[in-house]
């Protein structure tokens, strides 16, 4: 049950120190304050921008804000550490910890978090599959059943060039890249499967997909061969 508190919109505080933090999309990050800073605290509050997202009073903790952080936040009421799981680029920004003491003014620590695009992963981690199609015909690269809150990232070629991306949790439209090569011939559906229409021999090659959620990340690789007519 959330703790009762005077949750005023105090905005972004002037932090005593700022710590840069970088994390890859779909990974987790733990923001940990210096133990010396939290000695003798009576209350800790974590803010994302001007929104209170979590707080603790030593014996009990509460998550105050869900929305974009749904099922992602974990607050350690002893160390004051805040863990954010399954990060997205929308979680980039300033995270400030306000530390209240009984006998002195509050302290403020800011973590400036940058969430970077999910990187290409070495092929050894992939489940492999082969697809063959005649030039001009469509081909669909199917992925396992999904729950509806995953981040789907498709890449092409040995260099792992980003070609399509869909954040199902955000309920937004898929994003497509490399228009010069595929020119409106890609379709990413709600299942995460990728269809290539009007295939060309130049579409032959490796296609890799990374499926991220609160569950273990899944990787799959397709070897596609487009045969000339």
Q: Is the pLDDT of residue 97 over 60?
A: yes
Q: For 25-78, what is each residue's pLDDT tens digit?
A: 888 999 999 998 888 899 999 999 999 999 998 777 788 877 888 888 999 988
Tokens 């700022």, located at residue: 18
> Cα(93)–Cα(91) distance, rounded to whole angstroms?
6
pLDDT band at 3; cut points 50, 70, 90: very low
> Cα(149)–Cα(163) distance, rounded to whole angstroms?
20
Task: Say what the alpha-carbon torsion angle 87, 194, 222, 160 is, to the nearest 10 degrees.
Answer: -50
CATH of 17-116, one of 2.102.10.10, 2.60.40.10, 3.30.470.20, 3.30.365.10: 2.60.40.10
Task: Say what the alpha-carbon torsion angle 8, 9, 15, 18 is, to the nearest 10 degrees.
Answer: 130
Query: Is the separation of the CB atoms in 167 and 175 below 8 Å?
Result: no
Q: Is the pLDDT of residue 2 over 50?
A: no
Other C-beta atoms lying within 10 Å of the C-beta of residue 22: 11
Look at residue 159 in the predicted model and tell me its pLDDT. 83
Look at residue 13 in the predicted model and tell me its pLDDT. 63
Which region among 9-13, 32-36, 134-138, 171-175 has the lowest average model confidence (pLDDT)?
A: 9-13
Fold classification of 123-227 is Immunoglobulin-like (2.60.40)
- Reported residue count of the chain is 229
Sequence-distant (6+) residues with CB within 8 A of 86 are 26, 27, 28, 72, 151, 212, 213, 214
Alpha carbon of 80 to those of 90, 99, 156: distances in Å? 23, 9, 42
Top-confidence range, 3-7, 68-72, 95-99, 141-145: 95-99
> Cα(126)–Cα(128) distance, rounded to whole angstroms?
6
Q: For 203-229, what is each residue's pLDDT tens digit?
A: 999 999 988 887 778 888 999 999 987
Other C-beta atoms lying within 10 Å of the C-beta of residue 110: 20
Same fold for the domain at 17-116 and the one at 123-227?
Answer: yes
Say if strands 139-141 and 41-48 run parallel, antiparallel, or are unpaired: unpaired
Q: Is the pLDDT of residue 121 over 70?
A: no
Q: What are the structural domain ranges in the chain?
A: 17-116, 123-227
Q: Is the pLDDT of residue 200 over 50?
A: yes
């Amino acid at each position: 049950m959330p703790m009762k508190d005077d949750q005023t919109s105090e905005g972004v505080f002037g932090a005593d120190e700022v710590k840069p933090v970088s994390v890859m999309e779909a990974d987790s990050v733990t923001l940990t304050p210096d133990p010396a800073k939290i000695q003798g605290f009576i209350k800790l509050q974590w803010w994302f921008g001007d929104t209170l997202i979590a707080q603790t009073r030593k014996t009990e903790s509460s998550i105050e804000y869900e929305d974009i952080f749904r099922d992602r936040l974990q607050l350690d009421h002893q160390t004051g550490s805040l863990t954010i799981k399954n990060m997205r680029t929308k979680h980039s920004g300033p995270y400030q910890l306000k530390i209240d003491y009984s006998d002195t003014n509050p302290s403020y620590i800011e973590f400036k978090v940058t969430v970077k695009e999910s990187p290409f992963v070495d092929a050894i981690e992939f489940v492999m599959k082969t697809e063959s199609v005649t030039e001009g015909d469509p081909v669909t690269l199917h992925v396992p059943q999904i729950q509806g809150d995953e981040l789907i990232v498709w890449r092409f070629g040995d260099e792992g060039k980003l070609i399509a991306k869909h954040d199902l949790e955000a309920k937004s439209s898929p994003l497509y890249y490399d228009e010069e090569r595929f020119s409106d011939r890609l379709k990413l559906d709600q299942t995460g499967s990728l269809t290539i229409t009007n295939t060309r021999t130049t579409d032959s090659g490796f296609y890799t997909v990374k499926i991220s959620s609160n569950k273990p990340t899944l990787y799959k690789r397709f070897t596609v061969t487009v045969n000339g007519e």
